[in-house]
């Protein structure tokens, strides 16, 4: 489908939308119904609404409907208020953009209007530093050459200025003529591809003949860009409002479901099924009792004949009574604490990058706990592991190597002498470096030249050429000027053959103004340039140069050129113009036409550019690998370069401990054989303590994913490390999807626009705010300034978030089950009638006020200090395998709630069973027992106390008595004087003591036994922290078989300042352990789970212990003993 835009024509204003921007979800009229519809689209909310509606039936409700309607309305009001506030902020932002004043030309008259009144076809005028209000086709600028500069950071995150040029048909038009310009633009319907605009422009006489003028993205100014370093510019509005390219990309991203959320949903379903069973059993028992025992009791006033629905009354009463098994506040509580987790990341000063003044930021507030369960990290190389600060180091020109001895070609005297003697091959080489690019030279006020480059490689080449006396100093439109040894060389740029990820090269066709010759200058990847060399040229030296530089971890580019004759260029130019004018498959047709010219090349040489590793990268990767996380490097670089970088940053170990397996091939058979060979090796070495990784290039990867996906998937699950070279952005996303299909938790990290698809596809996306811009950071769930901060993001924030969420979710179920079980026990002594022990006020306040504050403050709890967690990353194992939240741990909390309910009910009913006691007194005693128990449960489960936590626990307990004393003064509340009477009775306080002692005694005893005699790795670290000892003996991360009991590891804890810390890793699981065999389990601690963890985790954790000899262990133990004696 196409769109035809008539320039400066007011008759088409009604055909397309206006320029009003709207990012709002709601309006005043539809907010209430739409928000309620969204909230009630969730199953749990539908369930609670059904319960609330059933409570309106007075015949079956055991309590006042307010006990359910109150919390339900409160929770819905909180969610609706948050949505309304967010939408109001979006409205204010839209209003500011829509009411901004802009200049347009209508009917030949230039006037000022609001941005929202711009229509398609209007000519919009911009001044320097103005924001572009809609998508424009550039038709005029203040520059005589028709160029302007724009800042696109708000659009794509790239901070460097971009050059935009007016359509060739509009060259030379004065501002007065631009007011009267007439014509038509043929363009595609609105889309969100910000890097592509395939259109044609046709101006009407008298401005130009009716020839088509092709338009590309370089002829456009897109919405939200800023005009820089240009006095004025004007353009024709082609897309407006929400139909702009930026508007098409707006929207709310699909929510990501964390593993914890999925487990909570499953547990909620299990509780719901249990509730149905309880309701059916008690309903049948109640009807039986009513028809038998109730008939013998004169005070039971059941009617002899009831309505047809009589059998449903008691079951429905129990359904309402048991509805509190599922905590109504759990979603709001989790949303609140997850928002705070995100704020903790934003506020973390230790993740602040002082070099770039970049703080860490959590854009997604809902998935922090997933950071603690990461199993695979897929990372880009350039700009992510490296600094993306390119430095020209070496080169090979016409078979001669420069910079090999000094390590810096810019200081190589042989090269400098060759330049001084004006050797033709060297001059051509430098010319390609200086001219074949899209760099913009800018002269500052003091006369120095600075370069604005879209690529760091181009920036390095242009700077290197300038250092070698080939200085690019001016670029005006199609004219380019280079200063070489005080002589000015002029080139006219005829055509630019742009770089694409498929072509892997870029070229320019220039006319040398000195001799009028036409030259094709090309640079690109060696596999894209060398095969197109002229038939008579020897390229073996260049292949060796590429191999040598790659072995050093340097980035290589191949430079070439070719002289063209006039007829050849003229014929090709017509084809290029035709391909450039098509609206369908323009990119493919252009690539085909470019290939016609980019052949029979004269290879000039090879450049080698260094991209140094970021600080802390090797240490970060080593630490995260010890945490059981597998690493994959996905890069567009050559195989050897990627391997060298991988070795230098601890991705893989050097021989003999490490082993690299190559998967190569250009066809299906070769790839199949190579893949089968690597698979066989992997299967054999999977039980050996050897660091095995596979390496695959983009071509072989495409064949493997298309024809051998099953084998490649098996290989992916067996390998700890993978290096994928020459991969495209789409292949990166495919690899993420492959691992996700195997139910692994993936984290993708990158820094450039080519990493966005991978980042968005992963369970967790992390963007680095790097030199390639902010596009990756803006698309990611989390953004950080450097790769080294990933260690803290996962080990500290991820682990703490998972631990806290696991506790909060299970505790929420525990406190709801506790009160529900007491209700069920009470039904056994109330004729199984579904009568509620607690009044409506108590039930409503229980979840909303009495038990919420202490749980929310648990987000401050830390089971281990941050330093200990960073020193011993192996303990992340407990999070990765879901050891703190799974059916087994939930069964422990379920059993605890049942036990505590039994204790509270039996003690309360036996102390207050005389005839003088009222039901309200028994109710308040039981409720008080629940509150006391939960206070002590919080104390026992809290690992680190702060003043705020003490205030929340004990202050909440005191608030319970204050609130109930106030309620007891109200005659209408149904609790008149109850609390005052109870507090004056010694038996009440004795009852509280008995409930706490009987309820918490067994729990504390079990925890003490586990902590003392069956300590986990975390328990031992906690003991060491509390004792303050320098070194402690620690067993396996998870006990396995009895044969493993002799395995011991030494680890260091925070030591006194006078001692140097000694680090030894934790001993991890045995080699036979796997994700499906996680050792014995006991109540109230870590339990087995069905979570999938790579079977190579144990090898990943135990690498260092494999190298320890028995005598080294004994020596270490002797040192431990002597240190303990000294202490």
- In DSSP terms, 748 is beta-bridged to 378, 765
Q: DSSP letter at 608?
A: E
Give the 3-state secondary structure of residue 666.
coil
Verify whether residue 380 is a known catalytic residue: yes
Tokens of 416: 């400098």
Quick one: which of 379, 256, 273, 255 has its CA closest to 325? 273
CB-hemisphere CA count at 13 Å for 828?
10
- Check: CB of residue 792 under 8 Å from CB of residue 317: no
Distance CA 247, CA 845 (A): 46
Phi, psi of 662 (to 5 degrees): -95, 135
3-state secondary structure string across 524-587: ECHHHHHHHECCCCCCHHHHHHHHHHHHCCCEEEEEEEEEECHHHHHHHHHHHHHHHHCCCCHH
Q: How far is CA 881 from CA 374, 704, 854, 885, in A?
A: 10, 30, 27, 9
Q: Judging by DSSP bridges, how do beta strands 123-127 and 226-228 pair with one another?
A: unpaired
CB burial readout 877-900, b (16+ within 10 A) else e: bbbbbbbbbbbbbbebbbebbbbb
- Check: CB of residue 1021 under 8 Å from CB of residue 872: yes
Number of CB atoms found within 10 A of residue 997's CB? 13
CA 170-134-106 angle, 5° bins: 60
For residue 537, what are the contacts with CB-CB under 8 A and spacing of at least 6?
Answer: 602, 603
Residue found under tokens 């005080």:
486
Instruction: Give the residue ranges of DSSP H helices in 728-851.
Output: 729-741, 756-761, 775-779, 789-792, 799-828, 840-845
- Check: CB of residue 524 under 8 Å from CB of residue 499: yes
Quick one: which of 574, 544, 533, 589 has its CA closest to 401? 544
Whether the bond into 656 is cis, omega within 30 of 0: yes
Tokens of 42: 């969730």
Q: How far is CA 975 from CA 839, 928, 1072, in A?
A: 9, 14, 62
Q: DSSP letter at 773?
A: B
Tokens of 273: 């099924």
Distance CA 177, CA 183 (A): 13
Q: Across the chain, how many H-helices and E-strands are there? A: 38, 35
Quick one: which of 960, 913, 909 has its CA closest to 933? 960
Catalytic residue among 130, 156, 348, 380: 380
Q: Give every strand in the sheet of 479-484, ordered side by side.
A: 400-402, 391-397, 602-610, 555-564, 518-524, 505-512, 487-497, 479-484, 470-476
Quick one: which of 538, 526, 539 has its CA closest to 608? 526
Quick one: which of 454, 437, 440, 426 has its CA closest to 507? 437
Tokens of 125: 């005028």
- In DSSP terms, 400 is beta-bridged to 397
Residue found under tokens 């893949």:
675
Distance CA 10, CA 3 (A): 16
Q: Which residues are catalytic?
A: 380
């Amino acid at each position: 489908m196409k769109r035809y835009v008539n320039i400066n024509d007011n008759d088409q204003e009604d055909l397309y939308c206006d320029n009003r921007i709207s990012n709002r979800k709601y309006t005043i009229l539809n907010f209430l119904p739409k928000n309620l519809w969204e909230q009630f689209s969730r199953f749990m909310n539908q369930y609670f609404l059904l319960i609330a509606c059933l409570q309106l039936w007075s015949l079956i409700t055991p309590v006042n409907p307010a006990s359910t309607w109150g919390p339900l309305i409160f929770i819905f009001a909180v969610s609706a208020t948050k949505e309304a506030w967010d939408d109001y902020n979006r409205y204010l932002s839209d209003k500011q953009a829509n009411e901004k004043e802009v200049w347009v030309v209508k009917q030949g008259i230039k006037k000022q209007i609001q941005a929202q009144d711009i229509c398609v076809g209007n000519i919009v005028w911009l001044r320097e530093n103005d924001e572009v209000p809609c998508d424009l086709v550039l038709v005029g600028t203040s520059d005589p050459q028709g160029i302007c500069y724009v800042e696109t950071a708000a659009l794509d995150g790239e901070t460097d200025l971009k050059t935009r040029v007016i359509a060739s048909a509009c060259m030379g038009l004065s501002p007065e003529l631009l007011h009267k310009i007439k014509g038509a633009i043929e363009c595609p319907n609105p889309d969100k591809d910000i890097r592509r605009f395939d259109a044609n422009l046709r101006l009407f006489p008298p401005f130009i003949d009716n020839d088509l003028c092709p338009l590309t993205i370089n002829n456009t100014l897109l919405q939200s860009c800023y005009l820089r370093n240009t006095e004025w510019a004007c353009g024709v509005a082609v897309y407006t409002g929400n139909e702009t390219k930026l508007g098409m990309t707006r929207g709310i991203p699909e929510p990501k479901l964390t593993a914890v959320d999925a487990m909570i949903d499953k547990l909620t379903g299990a509780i719901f099924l249990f509730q149905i069973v309880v309701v059916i059993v008690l309903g049948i028992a109640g009807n039986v009792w009513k028809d038998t025992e109730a008939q013998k009791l004169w005070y039971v006033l059941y009617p002899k004949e009831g309505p047809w629905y009589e059998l449903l009354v008691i079951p429905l009463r129990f359904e309402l009574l048991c509805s509190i098994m599922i905590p109504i506040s759990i979603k709001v509580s989790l949303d609140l604490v997850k928002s705070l987790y995100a704020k903790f990341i934003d506020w973390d000063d230790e993740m602040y990058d002082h070099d770039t003044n970049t703080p860490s930021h959590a854009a997604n507030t809902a998935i922090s706990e997933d950071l603690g369960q990461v199993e695979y990290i897929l990372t880009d190389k350039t700009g992510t592991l490296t600094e993306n600060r390119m430095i020209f180091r070496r080169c090979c020109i016409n078979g001669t190597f420069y910079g090999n001895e000094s390590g810096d070609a810019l200081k190589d005297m042989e090269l400098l002498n060759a330049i001084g003697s004006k050797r033709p091959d060297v001059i051509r080489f430098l010319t390609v470096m200086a001219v074949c690019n899209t760099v913009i030279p800018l002269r500052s006020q003091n006369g120095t030249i600075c370069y604005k480059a879209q690529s760091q490689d181009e920036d390095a080449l242009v700077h290197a050429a300038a250092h070698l006396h080939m200085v690019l100093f001016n670029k005006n439109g199609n004219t380019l000027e280079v200063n070489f040894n005080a002589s000015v060389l002029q080139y006219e740029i005829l055509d630019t053959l742009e770089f694409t990820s498929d072509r892997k090269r870029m070229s320019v066709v220039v006319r040398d103004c000195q001799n009028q010759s036409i030259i094709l200058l090309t640079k690109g990847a060696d596999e894209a340039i060398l095969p197109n060399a002229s038939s008579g040229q020897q390229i073996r030296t260049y292949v060796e140069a590429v191999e040598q530089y790659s072995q050093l971890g340097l980035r290589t580019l191949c430079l070439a050129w070719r002289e063209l004759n006039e007829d050849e260029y003229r014929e090709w130019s017509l084809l290029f113009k035709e391909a450039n004018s098509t609206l369908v498959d323009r990119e493919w047709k252009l690539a085909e036409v470019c290939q016609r010219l980019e052949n029979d090349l004269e290879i000039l040489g090879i450049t080698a550019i260094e991209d140094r590793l970021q600080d802390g990268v090797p240490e970060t990767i080593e630490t995260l690998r010890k945490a059981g996380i597998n690493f994959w490097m996905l890069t567009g670089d050559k195989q050897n370069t990627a391997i060298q970088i991988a070795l230098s940053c601890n991705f893989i170990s050097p021989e003999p401990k490490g082993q690299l397996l190559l998967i190569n091939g250009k066809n299906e058979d070769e790839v199949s054989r190579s893949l089968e060979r690597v698979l066989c090796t992997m299967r054999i070495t999977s039980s050996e303590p050897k660091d095995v990784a596979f390496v695959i290039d983009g071509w072989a990867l495409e064949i493997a994913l298309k024809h051998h996906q099953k084998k490649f998937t098996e290989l992916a699950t067996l390998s700890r490390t993978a290096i994928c070279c020459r991969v495209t952005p789409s292949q990166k996303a495919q690899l993420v999807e492959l691992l996700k299909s195997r139910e692994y938790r993936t984290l993708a990290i990158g820094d450039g626009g080519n990493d966005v698809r991978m980042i968005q596809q992963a369970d967790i996306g992390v963007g680095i705010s790097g030199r390639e811009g902010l596009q990756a950071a803006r698309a990611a769930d989390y953004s950080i300034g450097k790769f080294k901060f990933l260690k803290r993001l996962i080990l500290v924030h991820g682990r703490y978030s998972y631990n806290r969420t696991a506790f909060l979710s299970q505790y929420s179920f525990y406190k709801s089950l506790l009160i529900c079980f007491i209700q069920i026990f009470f039904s056994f002594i109330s004729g199984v009638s579904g009568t509620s022990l607690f009044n409506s006020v108590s039930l409503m306040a229980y979840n909303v006020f009495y038990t919420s504050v202490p749980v929310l403050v648990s987000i401050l709890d830390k089971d281990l200090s941050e330093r200990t967690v960073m020193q011993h990353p192996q303990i992340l194992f407990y999070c990765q395998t879901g050891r703190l939240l799974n059916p087994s741990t939930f069964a422990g909390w379920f059993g605890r709630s049942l036990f505590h309910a039994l204790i509270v009910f039996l003690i309360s009913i036996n102390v207050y069973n005389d005839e003088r006691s009222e039901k309200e007194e028994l109710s308040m005693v039981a409720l008080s027992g629940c509150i006391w128990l939960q206070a002590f449960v919080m104390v026992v489960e809290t690992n680190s106390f702060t003043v705020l936590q003490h205030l929340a626990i004990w202050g909440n307990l005191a608030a319970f008595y204050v609130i109930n004393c106030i309620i007891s003064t109200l005659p209408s509340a149904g609790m008149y004087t109850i609390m005052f009477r109870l507090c004056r009775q010694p038996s009440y306080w004795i009852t509280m003591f008995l409930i706490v002692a009987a309820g918490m005694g067994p729990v504390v005893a079990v925890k003490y036994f586990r902590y003392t005699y069956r300590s986990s790795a975390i328990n031992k670290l906690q003991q060491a922290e509390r004792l303050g000892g320098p070194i402690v003996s620690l067993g396996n991360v998870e006990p396995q078989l009895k044969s493993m009991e002799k395995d011991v590891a030494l680890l260091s804890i925070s030591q006194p300042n006078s001692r140097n810390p000694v680090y030894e890793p934790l001993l991890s699981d045995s080699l036979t352990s796997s994700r499906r065999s996680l050792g014995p389990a006991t109540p109230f601690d870590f339990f087995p789970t069905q979570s999938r963890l790579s079977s190579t985790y144990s090898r990943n954790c135990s690498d260092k212990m494999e190298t320890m000899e028995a005598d080294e262990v004994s020596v270490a133990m002797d040192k431990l003993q002597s240190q303990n004696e000294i202490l």
